[in-house]
């Protein structure tokens, strides 16, 4: 049974125990036009397992002005709107980080670990007990250009939004 839990290609364990699922497919911005991927959420008896796979992430870069590309901030945002607009501030319609219990940044229910680009790809599995799948359906997941510092208020200074996905029931 243990091997099934850790093998992301083997869904038998999750299918057997997940009481609700949700997923989202990323749309890219002009800042990362080749970005694509998905995120899945599995409601387990003890919390939510989150699986993300992304390709087309920009490579790490640090500009002289201090602006950094990568690792990439990754969060649930308030609204399930992924409109690019004029491209200068893509996905602003998703609003701010989802923070139902009014915690300081770094402890928002929607704060996730950063995504590290490995030749443009990132794959991550993590667990959270900060929400249930039913709480996030209709919200969005955003990938940012830069890293989250998990301290700056209200959103961690993770830079431009480079991808967005609306979370839908599984």
- Largest pairwise CA distance in the chain: 51
The pTM for the full model equals 0.85
pLDDT of the residue at 4: 39
Mean pLDDT of the chain: 85
Q: Does the pLDDT of residue 88 top 50, yes or no?
A: yes
C-alpha of 67 from chain center: 21
Domain boundaries, the chain: 2-169
Over range 92-109, report the average pLDDT.
87
pLDDT of the residue at 59: 84
Q: Give the model confidence (pLDDT) of 125-138 as tens digits.
A: 999 999 999 999 99
Q: Which long-range contacts (CB under 8 A, 24 or more apart) does 9-12 make?
A: none
Over range 33-49, report the average pLDDT.
94
What superfamily would CATH give domain 2-169? Superoxide dismutase, copper/zinc binding domain (2.60.40.200)
Of all residues in the chain, the percent with pLDDT exceeding 90 is 52
What residues contact residue 125 under an 8 Å CB cut-off, 6+ apart? 8, 49, 50, 51, 52
């Amino acid at each position: 049974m243990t091997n099934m839990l850790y093998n992301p290609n083997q869904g038998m364990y999750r299918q057997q125990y997940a009481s609700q699922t949700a997923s989202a497919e990323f749309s890219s911005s002009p800042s990362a036009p080749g970005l694509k991927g998905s995120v899945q959420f599995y409601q387990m008896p003890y919390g939510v397992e989150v699986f993300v796979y992304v390709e087309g992430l920009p490579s790490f870069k640090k500009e002289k002005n201090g602006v950094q590309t990568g690792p990439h901030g990754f969060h649930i945002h308030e609204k399930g709107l992924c409109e690019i607009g004029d491209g200068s501030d893509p996905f602003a319609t998703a609003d701010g980080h989802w923070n139902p219990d009014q915690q300081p940044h770094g402890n928002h229910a929607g704060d996730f670990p950063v995504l590290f680009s490995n030749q443009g790809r990132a794959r991550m599995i993590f667990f959270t007990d900060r929400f249930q799948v039913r709480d996030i359906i209709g919200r969005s997941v955003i990938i940012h250009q830069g890293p989250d510092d998990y301290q700056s208020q209200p959103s961690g200074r993770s830079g431009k939004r480079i991808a967005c996905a609306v979370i839908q029931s599984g």
